[in-house]
Chain A
Amino acid sequence: MQEELFTSGRNIPNIDPFLQIWHWPISLYLFLGGLAAGILFFAALFYLMGKEKEYPAAVRYATIIPPIALSLGLLALVYDLTHKLYTWQLYTTFRIESPMSWGAWVLMVVTPLSFMWFFSFYSENYPKTEEKLQLLKKFKFLATFEQFLKDNRKYMAYALIPLTLVLGVYTGILLSAFNARPLWNNAILGPLFLTSGLSTGAAAIILMAKTKKEKHMFGKIDLGLIIIELALIVHMIMGYYAGSQVQLEAMQLLVGGDFTLMFFGFVVILGLIIPATLELIHLIGYKVPVIVPAMLVILGGLIFRFVMVEAGQLTRFLY
């Protein structure tokens, strides 16, 4: 049998250095999109469950984050485009096979909805600001608009639940749809990114929550989501192990390669296991400043997106 000692590979200086075309804005956007989807999902869910009074941070106060996050995310997305003047071409067509087309259209609907949801609570949340600015008094149509939104909050919530789920899943599917990048090409990435987005959303709500009850509730939710996320990560790694040669090679980056410390150290241990432990200790009844696990979860989610986007682009199909 002939042993294959070496295979020289492709080295095309005119193309290869330019293949890594997705930079930090994409990672940042994937994180912000997931975070916004998570918060809005919980806001809509708890509103429909009639728990607005019990969980005001989830339904009302934390929803200041999604409009900001989505606006920043969209800016980051457009910033990373290289043919920016033609961005409007996204909205001349809907391509059912293209995850990016799905994302563009979902964002087109969710972003205004996130503003509308937040604005519908404007005079209730910020009576002092309103007293100073007198926005609603000066501009009558704004007051009418707020009233209209208030009356139709239920329908917004019904729309937000499926839309935020699509948004959360899409941030993962965007990557997993490429079979040319073996690290991304696994079906678990969509649910994994959705779970991670929901988890960071729950963590953000914990940060904004004032009552013990709400912190407790979202601590529980976050703990559950972290456990699901860990299980999905195990599935992802198992999938690579059982995969083809290209996936085995791709996995080397995460397991025993350049991204091992980032992935297992910062994402799995610091971003998932430690906050889960802290939240568990908190739930048992010991005193833990909940800001610590919440911040760790959010940072872990951010680093996770960076690791996946950067590492995925290093993996190749040929040579």
Chain B
Amino acid sequence: MRYAMIIDTLKCVGCSDCVVACQTENDVPIGFCRDWIVETVNGSYPNLDLELKSERCNHCDNAPCVRCCPTGASHGGDGGIVLVTANECIGCGACIESCPYDARYQHPDGYVDKCTFCHHRLEKGQLPACVSVCPTKCMYFGDLDNPNSEVSQLLKNRKHKTLAPEAGTDPHVFYLI
């Protein structure tokens, strides 16, 4: 089992539904978020190119946050999901500094928090909250080890990219372009 998330940048409209769904589902404290929308504009006027996408922890295979964690609070769980055990975290901030995607924040209670791919929902056979609410159905979630899964097929048939592949993290969130 190797979980992966795919976001179709051609379909994303940047509505932030995924952000609100995550905040509600995961009791994210007010003023923080585990996922967010990035809007990039490239080109020179009048030939501009707009890209919208929802970003979050990339659940890297080679996760710098897991490597630098001094207590093992940040760890790789089932299906390659990177998780933080709150009562092992000392709040040193090393993982925040180590993340090329800047996907982590310090919870007001002191420990470090981030996207979990909603593993509590996966255990019940449900999709992550962000994926399940997306109104344009631009987000996909599934198992990369299964060649027939929707995510495997999409990656086989569509052009895609990952964020900062040069960071060498082997991320598990893909963007269709």
Contact status A8-B93, CB under 8 Å: no
Contact status B36-A15, CB under 8 Å: yes
Contact status A318-B32, CB under 8 Å: no
Contact status B101-A93, CB under 8 Å: no
User: In whole angstroms, what is the CA distance A319 to B41 when docked?
Assistant: 11
Which residues of B in the span 88-131 have a Cβ within 8 Å of any Cβ on A?
A: 88-94, 96-103, 105-106, 109-111
Contact status A15-B33, CB under 8 Å: yes
Contact partner of B110 among A9, A82, A100, A103, CB < 8 A?
A82
Question: In the complex, which residues of chain B have a beta carbon less than 8 angstroms from the beta carbon of A179?
Answer: 64, 98, 100, 167-168
Question: In the complex, which residues of chain B have a beta carbon less than 8 angstroms from the beta carbon of A177?
Answer: 67-68, 98
Q: Mark B71-100, 1 if CB is under 8 A from A, else 0.
A: 111000000000000111111111011111
Contact partner of B102 among A15, A80, A83, A97, CB < 8 A?
A15
Please, which residue of chain A has its CB at the minimum distance from the CB of B86? Answer: A83
Interface segment out of the listed B2-10, B42-50, B133-141, B143-151: B42-50
Does B39 reach chain A (CB closer than 8 Å)?
yes
Interface segment out of the listed A16-24, A187-195, A250-258: A16-24
**Given A8-B40, A14-B36, A21-B106, do A317 and B47 touch, yes or no (CB 8 Å)?**
no
Contact partner of A14 among B33, B70, B99, B167, CB < 8 A?
B33
Contact status B68-A3, CB under 8 Å: no
Please, which residue of chain B has its CB at the minimum distance from the CB of A181? Answer: B97
Contact status B106-A90, CB under 8 Å: no
Contact status B38-A10, CB under 8 Å: yes
Least CB distance, B89 to chain A, in whole angstroms: 5
**Given A95-B69, A318-B101, do A180 and B167 touch, yes or no (CB 8 Å)?**
yes
Contact status B64-A318, CB under 8 Å: no
Give the B interface residue count (CB, 8 A): 49
Contact status B43-A82, CB under 8 Å: no
Contact status B42-A7, CB under 8 Å: yes
Which residues of A in the span 75-106 have a Cβ within 8 Å of any Cβ on B?
A: 80-84, 86-87, 89-90, 92-93, 95, 97-101, 103-104
Question: In the complex, which residues of chain A have a beta carbon less than 8 angstroms from the beta carbon of B154?
Answer: none
- A-B contacts, 10 of them at CB < 8 A, read A5-B44, A5-B45, A14-B33, A86-B87, A89-B88, A92-B71, A97-B67, A103-B70, A180-B99, A180-B167
For the complex of A and B, list the 10 residue pairs with the smallest distance between their C-beta atoms, beginning with the closest.
A82-B91, A83-B91, A83-B110, A5-B44, A100-B70, A317-B100, A21-B93, A101-B70, A14-B33, A180-B100
Question: Interface of A with B (CB < 8 Å)?
Answer: 2-10, 12, 14-16, 18-19, 21-22, 80-84, 86-87, 89-90, 92-93, 95, 97-101, 103-104, 177-181, 244, 313, 316-319
